Amino acid sequence: MRSNTLAAAILILGGVTLDARAESLNGAELLALCDTPKSDSMVYFTNFSLCAGYINGVSDASMCGNVVGGSSHANPDGATVANIFDVFVTWMRNHPDHASEGASVLVARSLAESYPCP
């Protein structure tokens, strides 16, 4: 119960409200979290953590042999969370026409294009 209270407080203090359903987060919303200007503020740390955690979760779920939104990817040796984060952010900036699509589908698609399964 205490961890739920702490999580709720962080979201409220950070000014972030997200629907509990992953499908409700679209590419533009995830990119906005990822693009929060770097600072010492709680908003930055909260948004960056939500973005990185979301991308990492989809990455884990869409490894070769598993499919998210029709896409699957391989992680090259040495790939870091930062690399995967950069792949999604760069892909979204290059494909703004997909911004209204589901974030999980877009993360999986961006990774599949950069790191295709063998």
pLDDT in tens, the chain (118 residues): 444 444 444 444 444 444 444 458 999 999 999 999 999 999 999 999 999 999 999 999 999 999 999 999 998 788 888 899 999 999 999 999 999 999 999 999 999 999 999 9
- Cα–Cα distance, 75 to 104 (Å, whole number): 17
The amino acid present at 93, given as its one-letter code, is R
* pLDDT of amino acid 78: 85
* pLDDT of amino acid 11: 47
Candidates 20, 81, 23; CA nearest to 49 is 81
Q: Which fold has domain 2-114?
A: 10k-s Protein, Hypothetical Protein A; Chain A (1.10.890)
Q: What is the DSSP letter of 71?
A: B
* Count of alpha carbons within 13 angstroms of residue 79, beta-carbon side: 18
* pLDDT of amino acid 100: 97
Q: List the end-to-end C-alpha distance of the chain, in Å, as a whole number.
A: 44
pTM above 0.85, yes or no: no
* pLDDT of amino acid 23: 53
